[in-house]
Amino acid sequence: MGTALIYDEEMTKYKLLWIDRACKIEVPERLTVSHDALVKTGLADRCVAVPVREATDADILLVHSEEYLEGVKKTPYLTLEELKEFTLQYGDVYFHPNIYHCAKLAAGAALQLVDSVMTGKVRNGMALVRPPGHHSMRSAACGFCVFNNVAIAARYAKQKYGIKRVLIVDWDVHHGQGVQYCFEDDPSVLYFSWHRYEHQKFWPQLRDSDYDCVGKEKGAGFNVNVPWNKVGMKNSDYLSVFCHLLLPIAYEFSPDLVLVCAGFDSAIGDPEGEMRASPDIFAHLTHLLMNLAGGKLCAVLEGGYNLTSLHQSVCQTVQTLLGDPAPRPANLDGPCTSALESLHCVRAAHRQYWSCLKHAAELPSYDISTKRIKLPDSEEEEEEERQKTGEEEKSAEEEAWPEPPKRFSPPVSTALLLPEGVACPDGCQRFSSSDDPVLVNKLREKFLVASDDDLTTLCSLTALVEKMEKHEIGNGLALVRDVSMATVCVVQHAATAHRDRVLIVCVGDASVPRKGADDGKTLLVQFSNKESGEQKSKFHIPVCLHKGCSDVSGFTQAVLGLLLPLGYEYDPSLVLLARTPGSGLCDAAWQQLTGLLQGLAQGHTLVLMQEAEKACVGPTASSLLGVAAPPLGKLHAPLPEDVEALERLRLALQADWKLLRTTAPETGGEEH
């Protein structure tokens, strides 16, 4: 199943017709450079081109008032002076004789995307649109937005397809207040937004954008705001919020559809956002959402004003939607203090609504720098303030950043090493290697108890890992007699062949000897129900769940809040996922794990399963091929003893692993 790309040149055919400092960045080239880049990289060709359509009055009225629609309808016939006048009612937006037409196409594009995904024509997709939508309100244009494309799409999807829950992820650097206002009392639409806030000093300067605006009445808990109080947020800050806030809530919510307000002004180089996340972070943000809602994800362009960072980010997003492995994320040096303060506050504000956050710390008692500041009351005061703080008109300093790393999509996606008589699922390659007698002898010396059959398997495994190193094969699955022996063999091979780091994830009680293995070349995370006593090393992390992995909620919590951040910070070049019988893990949770882990190590995951687990070959192979895992359903509260144990573990490890932090150090320093 493919990826839809929706674009129409018509949406480049309006522009700012007068001088307006606030609006001059919203240019037609935003769309042309994005689309050109998709064409030039060959990504556009790999997508299913879906035509736009005009949203109908009925579509638009799902969100907007009749008076407002009627007003906008007249704009094509206004003179320049009248257009300026019309524009003046609203903030930071401009009108043009062709913008009504484009706004109908933008909203219609979002609806076409929803239709393509909901009818199963494609798995997911992206719509490149202008004007953007998330600031526009029931009766007002705002922030370059005319109609609220994504809000309309959410209402439309619920109405037309009868779906119960929609998740809207707004990773644009501005707060989509229009989306918030539309759904703030509606528990069926969960709205998440992070945004530059600076204690309410940044546009749109709303009290409503702060972390304590959690939704109203029945919708309380279904509006999640992450205010950034400093500029310069980086990859670590974004990933921390995903792992410790958005994903746990999203999995608990269990959406039927994910809509993304995909603005890229949150990337480095953007003059509005002034953040420092690299364009390739969007590959990870996208990937991390792709196993929700059975993979039904619709991304709709919002902001993004640095043309270079914009097209790079768009390509990263689309390439990930197409299923190509994400590049290894760079510079994950942990979240900054200000980001941690924000994260802490949001988690505290939402702990009463989400069982995954029950254990989150309460609001910080120290003098939080997230306190709101007094806004200047008048423009004169504002000017005074500016002079005091020496804030000059910022010269558009051109920031340089490296091109996003090359993304490999190996000629063979998934190779399986299966005993004779076990069928190879469609789409995978059955892996066979001829025995290399020299290697067999070497292995025989190391594995004295190995049978001839075992040695053949180990030999093939070694060859498989080598092909993964060379990016000839993406990922693999081996069904073996002895998972522990196979794990040791792969790790030993990986250690000698210049593999820098291997993340070993064990589900069940495979015993992996750790003698002299705490040199950082491997990180072992083991899920089981065996109490293991003291934490011994930062590179050996036993995760004990009372019912093993059979409690899906506890397991999911451990994967999202512990394994993923550890994995991202460790940044392995290979992930070994070993599974032994009796783990109690259901197929859906296993597939979620397999899917999520492929965001690491450029998708190089090698799954090792005991022969007795052969019923699981099909589901595993499908996850490795990039098919979205089935939803886990709405999650109940995890066992309190598991939550406590996980929290203890996280606290114990956060000195060594910065991505595990969810609160700022008490000093609340000013430094980044």
Query: Whose Cβ is closer to ligand Q9C: residue 148's or residue 413's?
Result: 148
Q: Which two tokens stand for residue 403?
A: 């091109």
For the bound state, the minimum distance from the C-beta of residue 176 to ligand Q9C, rounded and expressed in Å, comes to 8
Helix boundaries (H) for 175-304: 177-183, 235-241, 247-253, 281-289
Locate tokens 């293991």: which residue?
Answer: 532
Sheet bearing 223-228, strands edge to edge: 48-50, 2-6, 122-127, 297-301, 257-262, 166-170, 189-196, 223-228
Q: Which of 96, 174, 230, 276 binds Zn ion (CB under 5 A)?
A: 174
Q: Which does 144 bind (CB under 5 to 8 A by kind): Zn ion, ligand Q9C, none?
A: ligand Q9C
Neighbours of 275 (CB within 10 A): 24
For the bound state, the minimum distance from the C-beta of residue 61 to ligand Q9C, rounded and expressed in Å, comes to 22
Q: Which stretch binds Zn ion (CB under 5 A): 296-304, 307-315, 363-371, 506-514?
A: 296-304
Tell whether residue 143 is a contact of ligand Q9C (CB under 6 A): yes
Tell whether residue 265 is a contact of ligand Q9C (CB under 6 A): yes
Strands 574-579 and 166-170, sheet pairing: unpaired
Computed over its alpha carbons, how large is the radius of gyration of the chain?
A: 26
Q: 35, 64, 96, 135: which is the annotated catalytic residue?
A: 135
SS3 call for 522:
strand
Tell whether residue 26 is a contact of Zn ion (CB under 5 A): no
In whole angstroms, what is the distance from residue 89 CA to residue 142 CA? Answer: 10
For the bound state, the minimum distance from the C-beta of residue 93 to ligand Q9C, rounded and expressed in Å, comes to 8
In whole angstroms, what is the distance from residue 574 CA to residue 465 CA? Answer: 9
Neighbours of 562 (CB within 10 A): 24
In whole angstroms, what is the distance from residue 461 CA to residue 456 CA? Answer: 9
Query: Whose Cβ is closer to ligand Q9C: residue 88's or residue 448's?
Result: 88
Query: Whose Cβ is closer to ligand Q9C: residue 67's or residue 382's?
Result: 382
Contacts of ligand Q9C in 17-56 (CB under 6 A) = 22
For the bound state, the minimum distance from the C-beta of residue 261 to ligand Q9C, rounded and expressed in Å, comes to 8
Q: Which stretch binds ligand Q9C (CB under 6 A): 140-148, 436-444, 520-528, 544-552?
A: 140-148
Judging by beta carbons within 10 Å of its beta carbon (0-12, 13-18, 19+), is residue 412 exposed, middle or buried? middle
Judging by beta carbons within 10 Å of its beta carbon (0-12, 13-18, 19+), is residue 244 exposed, middle or buried? buried
Query: Are the CB atoms for 195 and 209 separated by under 8 Å?
Result: yes
Contacts of ligand Q9C in 279-338 (CB under 6 A) = 302-303
Query: Whose Cβ is closer to Zn ion: residue 267's or residue 597's?
Result: 267
Q: Which stretch binds Zn ion (CB under 5 A): 112-120, 234-242, 262-270, 314-322?
A: 262-270
Query: Whose Cβ is closer to ligand Q9C: residue 207's or residue 218's?
Result: 207
In whole angstroms, what is the distance from residue 565 CA to residue 247 CA? Answer: 12
Residues in contact with ligand Q9C, shown as a per-residue x/- string from 85 to 114 under the rule CB under 6 A: -------x----------------------
135 is catalytic: yes
Query: Whose Cβ is closer to Zn ion: residue 197's or residue 657's?
Result: 197
Write out the residues near Zn ion by the rule CB under 5 A: 172, 174, 263, 265, 303
Q: Which residues are part of the catalytic machinery?
A: 135
Write out the residues near ligand Q9C by the rule CB under 6 A: 22, 92, 132, 135, 143-145, 172, 174, 203, 263, 265, 272, 302-303
